[in-house]
Structure 1
Amino acid sequence: MTTEHRESGWEDREVGVGPWQGDWPEGDHWDPTLLAEGDRRNVADHYRYWTVEAIVADLDTKRHPLHIAIENWQHDFNIGTVVRTANAFNVAGVHIIGRRRWNRRGAMVTDKYMHVHHHPTVEDFVNWANAESLPILGVDLFPDSVPIETFEFPESCVMVFGQEGPGLSEEIHEAAEATLSIAQYGSTRSINAGSAAGIAMHCWIRQHGAAVR
């Protein structure tokens, strides 16, 4: 911690709110423990003191018709970051392709508010997407990739991200209706998978995202 932070009292700043003051509100969505002890979770203010189940139910009424999938063949540590970003954009679901286990630390507990699905193989995932009539869009650098900056996204779709290093598998590349590339201007060839997912999701949000009220 820097001297500036110590002098400003930054380290003493409390996150969230303390115990509810006054008569408790009525309703099944309130969490008695949080009302009594305070709510220090990383949730939006209008969800303070709500149960996890009530928050998920409310999010379900306004989720975007965008799904996010991540290939997980070598236990990619970026998955937690992708899940956290997917929560921020309130996507319909997150899909893990490959290994079921993934490091949840980067998700910062946001996976509790998401619908996370597992597909053991690419074939299983592709069959699910086809059954749901969801176009598969890969995000990676391939010779046939098109610029994401000018791509017209379908309103309902699933974007797939490869793991750090290998990128998307050839199976996903072949199954995708299109693969999208993110313009880069520096010396490195690739963008961190978690960062790329955030950029791609926001590109979709700019075209189809519900206005924030």
Structure 2
Amino acid sequence: MPEPDDPGPGDRAPEHAPEPVGVGPWPGGPESWPDDPRLDPRLLAEGDRRNVLDEYRYWRLEAIVADLDTRRHPLHVAIENLGHDFNIGSVVRTANAYAVAAVHIVGRRRWNRRGAMVTDRYQHLHHHADVAGLAAWADREGLPVIGIDNVPGSLPIEHRPLPARVVMLFGQESGGLSDEARAACTQILHITQYGSTRSLNVGAAAAVAMHSWALQHAHGG
């Protein structure tokens, strides 16, 4: 039985529907559309509900990618995909938020894209069959590979200078970096923890590591 002062279901105020994301059709019809080749006629006509910044509303996908390419950071992010890790999508989404140069999938080519929330369309993605392939690519590009994992001998990432041009390599959710990945790294850093859990979720760890890099190098650090 409800308490005497508890309104019944019919007396409760209706829950408000969430505000729709984005914008509706451009007001006024096609004759009022801006003369801008970056804009997508379909989005102008139907509205733009994508997960993009307001400054990119109505822009074509290719135009957004081209604009991002003018200001991407020299940070690369790599993650081992040995067992179809569901966290890779989250890593890709965060990489997009930090405008990294590219995300590198190491191992299995297929990965669960749901967590990326479509941000993978705006992000450069590369595949390497194994760690040796990633390491060879990084060597040709002159990029050090830094592993992020809380393994014996790793160093705290906090207050540690990070290279501006670098590949940050993350391992699987359960086992962390593979032996091959550890051997390919010039150094391995960990995120200091203060509670009882053994490790951070790899998606969360990637976000912290990218933010640590951004504090030093993004927009002049």
TM-score tier by shorter-chain length is over 0.9
1:12, distance to aligned residue in structure 2 (A): 3.9
Aligned to 1:26: 35
2:208 is matched with: 199
Q: What's the offset of the Cα at 1:155?
A: 0.6
From 88, 106, 117, the equivalent of 2:115 is 106
Q: Quick one: which of 20, 26, 31 aligns to 1:14?
A: 20
Q: Determine which structure has more spread, i.e. the larger CA radius of gyration.
A: 2
Give the aligned length. Answer: 208
CA distance in 1, matches of 2:17, 2:90: 25
% of aligned pairs identical? Answer: 61
**Residue 83 of structure 1 aligns to a residue in which SS?**
helix
Residues 1:90 and 1:9: Cα distance change in structure 2 (over 3 Å): farther
Matches within 5 A, 1:64-213: 64-210=73-219
Residues 26 and 152 from structure 1, CA distance in 2 versus in 1: closer, same or farther, beyond 3 angstroms? same
Q: Match of 2:3?
A: none
Could you say what secondary structure the match of 1:150 adopts?
A: coil
List structure 1 runs of 4+ shifted beyond 6 angstroms: none
Aligned partner of residue 66 in structure 2, secondary structure: helix
Mean Cα displacement is larger for which, 25-34 or 105-114? Answer: 25-34
CA deviations over 1:159-182 (Å, ceiling 9, x no partner) = 000011110011111111110110
Give the 3-state SS of the residue equivalent to 2:208 in structure 1. Answer: helix
TM-score calculated relative to the size of structure 2: 0.91
Asked whether 1:60 is paired with 2:69, we answer yes
Q: CA deviation at 1:28?
A: 1.4
* Distance in 1 between residues matched to 2:16 and 2:104, nearest whole Å: 38
Q: Point out where structure 2 has 5 or more consecutive residues left out of the alignment.
A: 1-8
CA RMSD, 1 decimal? 1.7
CA distance in 2, matches of 1:26, 1:168: 50
State the alpha-carbon separation in 1 of the partners of residues 104 and 80 from structure 2: 9
Please list every run of 5 or more consecutive structure 1 residues that lacks an aligned counterpart in the other structure. none
Shift of 1:91: 0.2
Deviation (angstroms), 1:99: 0.2
Distance 1:14 1:141 in 2: 41
